[in-house]
Amino acid sequence: MAINEAATPQTDGSALIWRRRGTFVLAAAGSAIGLGNIWRFPHELGTNGGSAFLFVYLLCIAGICVPLMVAEALIGRVGRTGAVYSFTAIANRQGTGELWVAVGAIGILTGFLIASFYAVVGGWTAAYTLDSLLFHSVSGEAESSAFFDQLTSLWAVPFAELGFWEIVQKMKVGVLSILMLSLFLVLSSAVVYRGVLKGLEKFVQLVMPLLFLLVVVMVVYSLAVGNTVEALRFIFTPDFSRLSPEVALKAMGHAFFSLSLGMGVFITYGGYTPKEQSLSKAIGTVALLDTLVAVLAGLMIFPLVFASEGIVADVGPSLVFISMPQAFSQMPLGNIVQPMFFLLLLVAAISSMVSLMEPMVATVERRFGINRHSACKTVVGIMWVLALGCAFSQDMFSILDYVTANIMLPLGGILVAIYVGWVLKPSLYADQAGMPAGSMRLIWLWIVRLFAPIAIVAILINGVFFS
């Protein structure tokens, strides 16, 4: 079957190949760079021993994740029909069973679960962005704590003990967080709603340069006014005494989360790339950009944290939302830089949320033969309900954050590795541009076949049972 035939429009009449060569890198970097880099990475680093965490994280990216990203994108390139149906298309072509469709289905489930807590944090981000652009009311410790408490007030309400009307009463305090997570979902879905070319491609071309610009400005500012020496020491001085099975598990989980690996984003986006585009080069670039932004996020946050009085580095998820406004209130030009910081966070969050929606919307479109608009509304509706669950229950929020990143994404990675290493026939992908050639291909193949699955299983078992 000719590639272009497989890539013919689904139901909305658009040809599903990016118009520009650079779009894949921008879109995939947009997916990878997100709250994971700027919200999750610094607080995981802060609570898991700084450089020990960074060390394992970098090893996982280079040794496990990049080869698997190539494998994932390859499935999309060969199958061309999204995160789930690419497995069916390949099964039809090489005459294997359709059981592997389950890999895609698990990916979709993982994506929904990630989206549910991601939308909550995205909502906080939208709230801080709006406030610091329009009202400037959140500044300093007391105000930022109060604002964060308000956004998470539903968490403090023990619903099991309340009657119906009491719950309705209490819900009023949670109106802000519900409004904000809804706004975040609407903003993100507006991109997906418009389609792959008119929505996604245009969006990433517009916002990704802005994102990189904001990162550079923020880092220069932090290094200029913050405590750079202390921050560099915290991030880069190796302290292997902090290395433990648990730190290794969290570092690997975070590598998967940060690269958006293990739930079908690369299958979907890879399927929109032209045949002549080199996958391995593009993916190498994406991994480099993502790692760079994670380290830069550390360099924009920790110099300010260490330069401010009364802030510690290991407070967890509130690091960005309470500590940063507190730090900005003590720094020169803080009231101008704070809105920039939260805008940066919001743009990064939306471009990732978009990539959590696209695989599902494309799949629902195909599965039910409905158009993109209906598919988009359905997917966002389900995400909204799940996100409400995380807005109401801190347990649901924390459990989903932990389980999706540390367990489900790595498991997805193992399945992709086994599929590409042992099931997918090399003749189907041998001619794909940018496949590693010669001895490089051999190394890649054996990482995918053996090294990556074994390493992931070892880290998973150690981290889950021995920490």
Interface ranges with ligand PHE (CB under 6 A): 31-32, 34-37, 114, 257-258, 260, 263, 265, 352, 355-356
Q: At what angle do helices 51-60 and 228-236 cross, to 10 degrees?
A: 50
Write down the least CB distance from residue 263 to ligand PHE, Å. 5
Structure tokens at 209: 């340069």
- Taking the least distance from each CB to ligand PHE, the nearer of 57 and 306 is 57
Write down the least CB distance from residue 201 to ligand PHE, Å. 18
426 exposure class (CB count in 10 Å sphere: 0-12, 13-18, 19+): exposed
- CB-CB neighbours of 440 under 10 Å: 11
* Nearest residue (beta carbon) to ligand PHE: 36
- Taking the least distance from each CB to ligand PHE, the nearer of 7 and 356 is 356
204 exposure class (CB count in 10 Å sphere: 0-12, 13-18, 19+): buried
Write down the least CB distance from residue 175 to ligand PHE, Å. 26
Q: What is the rounded CA–CA span in Å between residue 304 and residue 323?
A: 9
> Phi/psi zone of residue 261: left (φ > 0), alpha (ψ -120 to 50 degrees), beta?
beta
- Taking the least distance from each CB to ligand PHE, the nearer of 25 and 114 is 114
Write down the least CB distance from residue 31 to ligand PHE, Å. 5
Write down the least CB distance from residue 360 to ligand PHE, Å. 11
From residue 39, give the alpha-carbon distance in Å to each of 13, 121, 239, 341.
38, 9, 23, 11
Q: What is the rounded CA–CA span in Å between residue 137 and residue 338?
A: 11
Q: What is the rounded CA–CA span in Å between residue 73 and residue 79?
A: 10
Smallest Cα–Cα separation from 76: which of 104, 96, 97?
Answer: 104
Write down the least CB distance from residue 37 to ligand PHE, Å. 5
Write down the least CB distance from residue 382 to ligand PHE, Å. 16
Q: Cβ(312)–Cβ(42) under 8 Å?
A: no
